[in-house]
Chains A and B, each alone.
Chain A
Amino acid sequence: MTKLILRRLVLSVFILLAVSVLVFCATLLLPGDPARAILGQQATPERIAALNAQLNLDQPAVVRYFLWLGGLFVGDFGMSTAFGGPVSELLGERITASLVLMVLAAVVSIPVGLFFGIWSALHRGGRRDRAVTWVSLTLAALPEFVIGIALVTIFATSVFQILPAVTMAPPGTPVWAIPSQLILPTITLALVVAPYIARMMRATMIDVLDSGYVEMARLKGVPERQVVLRHAVPHAIGPVAQVIAIQLAWLAGGVVVVEFLFRYPGIGQALIDAVNFRDVQVVQAVSMIVAIVYVVVNLLADIVGILANPKLRSAA
Chain B
Amino acid sequence: MSENPRPDELGGAAVSAPLQPSSADAAVGADVKESASKPRSLMRRVWGQSEGRVGIILTGVIVLLAFLGPLLAPVLTVYAPTEFADRPFQSTGLFGTDDLGRSVASRFLAGGMLLVLYSVAATAIGMVVGAAFGIIAAYAGGATDAIIMRINDVLLAIPQLVFAMLAIVVLGPQGWVLILVIGLTHAPRIARVARAATLSVINEDYIRAAEMYAMPRSRIILREIVPNITGPLSVEAGLRLTYSIGSIASLSFLGLGMQPPTADWGLMINENRIALSIQPWGVILPVAAIAVLTIGTNLLADATARANASTNVGNA
Residues of A at the B interface (CB closer than 8 Å) are 11, 14-16, 18-19, 22-23, 26, 29-30, 137-138, 140-146, 149-150, 152-153, 157-158, 165, 249-250, 252-254, 256-257, 260, 271-272, 274-276, 278, 280, 283, 286-287, 290-291, 294-295, 298
Contact = CB atoms under 8 A, between A and B. Distances in A.
Contacts, number: 129
B276 A294 contact: no
B41 interface: no
Contacts of B169: 26, 30, 274-275, 278, 280, 283
Interface stretch (B23-31, B151-159, B202-210): B151-159
B294 A290 contact: no
Nearest to B160: A253
Interface of B: 51, 150, 153-154, 157-163, 165-166, 168-171, 242, 245-247, 249-250, 253-256, 269, 273, 276-277, 280, 283-284, 287, 290-291, 294-295, 297-299, 302
A137 B256 contact: no
B136 to A, nearest CB: 20
Contacts of B290: 143, 146
A256 B162 contact: yes
10 contacts: A15-B157, A140-B298, A141-B291, A145-B250, A149-B287, A153-B283, A253-B159, A254-B159, A283-B165, A287-B166
Contacts of A249: 159
Contact of A23 (B51, B166, B242, B273): B166
Given A145-B250, A287-B158, A11 B291 contact: no
A4 B302 CA distance: 35
Nearest to A289: B162
A286 to B, nearest CB: 7
The B interface, classified by DSSP as helix, strand, loop or mixed, is: helix
Contact of B298 (A18, A141, A144, A290): A141
A16 B298 contact: no
Contacts of A286: 162
Given A30-B170, A137-B299, A142 B291 contact: yes
A23 B165 CA distance: 11
A158 B287 CA distance: 15
> Quick one: which of A11, A145, A249 has the most chain B CB within 10 A?
A145
Contacts of A272: 165, 254-256
B159 A158 contact: no
Nearest to A28: B170
Contacts of A141: 242, 291, 294-295, 297-299
The 5 closest A-B CB pairs, nearest first, are: A253-B159, A141-B298, A143-B246, A18-B154, A157-B277
